[in-house]
Amino acid sequence: MAYYYTEPSRTFNEYLLVPGYSSSDCVLANTSLRTPVAKFKWGEEAPLSMNIPLVSAVMQAVSDDRMAIALAKEGGISFVYASQPIEHQAAMVKKVKDYKAGFVVSDSNLRPDQTLGDILELKTRTGHSTVAVTDDGTQSGKLIGIVTGRDYRVTRMDRNTRIDTFMTPIDKIIYAPEGTSLKEANNIIWDHKLNTLPILSDGGRMVALVFRKDYTSNKENLLELTDSSKRYVVGAGINTRDYRDRVPALVAAGADILCIDSSEGFSEWQKTTLKYIRDAYGDSVKVGAGNIVDRDGFLFLAESGADFVKIGIGGGSICITRETKGIGRGQATAVIEVAKARDEYLQKTGIYVPICSDGGIVHDYHMSLALAMGSDFCMLGRYFARFDESPSNKVTVGGNYMKEYWGEGSLRARNWQRYDLGDPGLSFEEGVDSYVPYAGSLHDNLGVTLHKIRSTMCNCGALTLTEFQKKARITQVSSLSIIEGGAHDVYLKDNPGTSMMMK
């Protein structure tokens, strides 16, 4: 007969952390969120670590080159999505590795014969107010002029007005030659009181833009994650179908770590993929595997050569695997069991294999719980999809700004390679197409989230994540205590008609 688990499958909502003794040293400035990403021999330094315990999911609606750059600046890693042609994914990875902090390759470009209407449409789509006007409308065309919000007035001009009639022409623009250092570029900006400095090649073609506003931003990125050559660290997703072609292309593009993107990782497909990578590259190529939800799945992937193991099936906000197939497990229960297996494997082999909690995280405090329960880092989709840096469109729904967000198991993604049963056609969906509330910039929001995690660690008397896991005391909560934990028995000021009276 079937095996039955005696304990129920629980979610993060069913647990709380109990505060512990906090010494005077337990202040936010003393905390460290540094965490290993790839396996290592205990007592030695991990070959790859992050400065924050968060990565962005291998999803079309979440992780492209722009997200990868933004997250690396904050100390995390983005895994560029795999459900696209190999050459496109490799090009995204290369963009991240070639990116020079402070030098922005313009993605808002038009031709001089286009119109104000085109300017407004582009601004709505990208959110950028500075547009480079090039001879062919590309980011590497010959610079003809620049348009900013100061160059036009929507209320006084016809939308059909040609750009070349109101742009700032090249002969009135201060620019710098290719090869100018960031320090030199910032000096030019400050000396001439500029907002934007174009960097041009000898032929006058666009190379990059340096913005005045980025000067402060660059100074704020104290946790940025770079490799030995001071290039941003970037990850990339792979599947178990075209890995013999995809992996070499991503490695050549400079990917620092790979991740097998699959709805279920306890399979021969993943073992075969890991074996190919180990045979071809040894331990020089780092690769995570998953997803799994129990001890057996973890041990299988760890013994197959995974550098980290990803936990979670059916817990994502856009995942309906549990509804359609009856497959999955409560995320908290899965993390607790896999963390025990990770420690068991460490005791047996002396090798520490990091684990990643993927899915089931709705609130910021769920991240703290996942880390306290043993996760080394969390993979987030919905969280990052809300920001300016995600590749999805910003739209208006019911008068509110939203970002499009869809699952890799949805028909929109058509990511059949993720479902390891050898069928190249999705006969049913395991993900939905949806919207999430637009939240603004990654930097501003992530700072608040990390502040909460650090504060929780201090409340538990911990200054590092390792110490957090050792000192954390976790309690189950009842349905009534969940209600008690939020606003109740009051009338909210923001919406006087809304009663929070407990029933």
Scan for tokens 């890799």, then name that residue. 408
Catalytic site positions: 319, 418
C-alpha neighbours within 13 Å on the C-beta side of residue 183: 0
Number of H helices and E strands in the chain, helices first, is 15, 24
**Measured distance CA(260)–CA(258) in Å, rounded:** 7
Q: Which tokens in the block code for residue 64?
A: 């492209």
Taking CA atoms, 4 is separated from 1, 240, 479, in Å, by 9, 31, 25
Whole-angstrom Cα Rg for the chain: 25
Q: How many CA atoms lie within 13 A of 427 on its CB side?
A: 5
Order of strands, sheet of 400-406, starting from the edge strand that comes earlier in the sequence: 394-397, 400-406, 433-437
Which residues lie closer than 8 Å to 134 by C-beta, 6 or more apart? 109, 110, 111, 140, 141, 142, 143, 144, 205, 206
Instruction: Report which of 58, 61, 77 is spatially closest to residue 69, judged by C-alpha positions.
Output: 77
Q: What do you get for the CA distance between the two ends of the chain, in Å?
A: 43
Query: Is beta strand 143-147 parallel, antiparallel or unpaired with respect to 131-134?
Result: antiparallel
User: Parallel, antiparallel, or unpaired for β 257-260 and 286-292?
Assistant: parallel
State the Cα–Cα distance between residues 217 and 367, nearest whole angstrom.
26
**How many of the other CB atoms lie within 10 Å of CB of 348?**
9
Encoded tokens for 179: 């090869």
What token pair was written down for 81? 């999505």
The DSSP H or E segment spanning 17 is strand 15-18
